[in-house]
Structure 1
């Protein structure tokens, strides 16, 4: 987990998850117009080369964190860990959107209901995360950013699984594995820009 690092410990080794979270913040900043494409490319390359917190910090020092505050004291905080490991929509609707923390395995279950798992602004706790989707007489939507590496392992019985992920995946990006079952229901996996365009 990437948290605000103490200023006196810039030599602490950064993990793959730390680098990935910084890259996510840079992608968000570029989408918001805070970074040019050239600046974004340069900083993302620097994030994946970084070995320590001291090398990661300058990449986001001049950017606000996910709460709108500045990140001058180091890489921004991860979202609250109380998001949990499951989202249940039983005759109701459950969703996870915006900046939220995704554990290595997350389950969503929709029974006579629906669910939406939006990973575009999420912080992944592992380089590879598994999203388990179980849609029983219901529907689940999984949204990722264009270019995200997605592996679909869902099974459908009298239901359907649709996958529409656009863009070539960048080397070093996190991988999202979608597993589960659509029984008299559906799972829709697709990519989408923040402005709603596919």
Structure 2
């Protein structure tokens, strides 16, 4: 199986590209979409960004900008990506460019699609999944909605766990999952908390 991420070209960002993203961030802060702390953090990342993908990820949860801007610098998304595993595993994690559609076939293996840092290139993502005794896991964050109305289930499961704070964030990506599950599972969930996250939440609760 080839790695789609390795095939995607990474184009270097110019000073003009960084300036356009910085301006979009300032406008978003002026509209109340970003706090001043978020603005400062993203501006620093924008000024240090080396590629179009590093710039694009800074504005994926903000209103789209005009064609020809820095967001267009990122790699052109594929129309369809195919992922097939039998008894192994496959994952798309970190900063990867989300295609318009993904076809997943999982026998007794596992597939993980982590969208938390992915470069989103459109408002919707179609996933056609055929899962036997394996699993498909979709990792989400506030602003990403997953719908599994078109999934048929035999003795397995298809579950969606919404991230905390999802109701207060506008939807930037709708993931529409269709297909079938036999004795396996399809799960959409937020990232798992680390032990330190759990410890901090517990400390705040009892203070």
Query: TM-score over 0.5 for the alignment?
Result: yes
Distance apart, 1:67 and its partner CA: 9.3
3-state SS of 2:36 partner: helix
1:152 lines up with 2:151 in the alignment: no
Match of 1:137 in 2: 133
Match of 2:70 in 1: 75
Alignment map for 1:90-169 (pairs within 5 Å) = 90-153=86-149, 154-166=151-163, 167-169=165-167
3-state SS of 1:102 partner: coil
Q: TM-score, normalised by structure 1?
A: 0.61
Which ranges of 4 or more aligned residues in structure 1 deviate by more than 3 Å?
Answer: 3-10, 41-44, 58-61, 65-71, 74-77, 79-82, 193-198
Distance apart, 1:9 and its partner CA: 9.4
The aligned length equals 161
Q: Which has the larger radius of gyration?
A: 2
CA shift in 2, pair 1:127/1:190, >3 Å: same
Q: Tell me which protein shows more strand as a share of its residues.
A: 1
Q: TM-score, normalised by structure 2?
A: 0.59
Match of 1:38 in 2: 36
Match of 2:203 in 1: none
Conserved in 2, the CA contact under 8 Å of 1:104 and 1:124?
Answer: no
Q: Tell me which protein shows more helix as a share of its residues.
A: 2
Distance apart, 1:41 and its partner CA: 6.6
Alpha-carbon distance in structure 1 between the residues aligned to 2:74 and 2:37:
23
Alpha-carbon distance in structure 2 between the residues aligned to 1:195 and 1:134:
31
Q: Considering only aligned residues, what root-mean-square deviation do their CA atoms show, in Å? A: 4.4
Q: Which runs of 5+ in 1 are unaligned?
A: 27-35, 45-57
